[in-house]
A and B are shown apart, each in its own frame.
Chain A
Amino acid sequence: MALNIERKVSSDETVISVAGDVDLYTSPELRKAVLEAVPGAAGRVAVDLSGVNYIDSSGIATLVEGLRSAHKHDKAFVLVTPSPPVMQVLELSKLDNVFEVRTTS
């Protein structure tokens, strides 16, 4: 399943909404979107994962890279409403407490 990525910019937040499967094939697209959004974002960088059906370790690694890049640029990095499959992989990876998670968009 292809990945659908949308970016919405407001004065205090850049929201990247992701829908579909994030795997070895599609994660480079997410990586590009996240790493491009971080440096120029006006405020927080929020990644909406409510529409993600599946995520693998390359997708999780991309989120870790996004978080690190946001910290480097002194910006907050938030995961918005991760879907159950995303939460399950974050928990399995022991990374569920590393990310700030917001449950409403």
Chain B
Amino acid sequence: MRTQEKDLRLTVRSDPYLLASIRSLVRGWLESWNVSSEAVHQVVLAIDEACANAIRHAYEGRKDRCVELTMHAEPEYFEFQVSDQGVPCPSECAEYRPLKIPDSEDLRPGGLGVQLMYEVFDEVQFCPGPTIGNCVTMKLMRRKRGI
């Protein structure tokens, strides 16, 4: 993959305190591409969820590990990657289950973050390592979105 002028690669400590800074950086990057404010909010949310999953699940809350985020622009799409060196995500947690209006019986907290990533992006691919680490790749098709 050829590196483009505005591409960004960032390594951040796995501390929930730093999520606000990551969001701010992602927001700025998207705004530099004139992405609409509603789409900016959704993409920021989905990337925040991916980073939060790395911290919460892959690193089980440990704050001294590293989360890596890359943002890459092609004429056809934006591609975002979040990777970690933590516990590989079980396949059932990475499955797409279309969100539906819950009734009070199946209203339960949790499990929403991954589904929000699927709702926001045109393509989401989870690649857990065989023994360690995860990489999630999220694509936003630009023409379809008018960006």
A binding-site residues for B, Cβ under 8 Å: 1, 21, 23-25, 54, 56-58, 60-62, 64-65, 67-68, 71, 85, 88-89, 92-95, 97-98
Contacts and interface: CB of A to CB of B under 8 A. Distances in A.
Contacts of A97: 101
Contact of A61 (B23, B44, B99, B110): B110
B116 interface: yes
Interface in B79-113: 99-102, 104, 107-110, 112-113
Nearest to A28: B16
Nearest to B18: A25
20 contacts: A23-B19, A23-B48, A24-B56, A25-B16, A25-B17, A25-B19, A25-B20, A54-B44, A56-B49, A56-B52, A60-B109, A60-B112, A61-B109, A64-B107, A68-B107, A88-B42, A89-B116, A92-B116, A94-B99, A95-B102
A78 B42 CA distance: 25
Contacts of B55: 24
A59 to B, nearest CB: 10
B102 A65 contact: no
B42 A92 contact: yes
B107 A67 contact: yes
What are the 8 closest A-B residue pairs judged by CB atoms, nearest first? A61-B109, A25-B16, A57-B112, A57-B113, A24-B16, A24-B52, A64-B109, A94-B99
Interface in B41-99: 41-42, 44-45, 48-49, 52, 55-56, 99
A24 B45 contact: no
Interface in B115-140: 115-116, 119-120
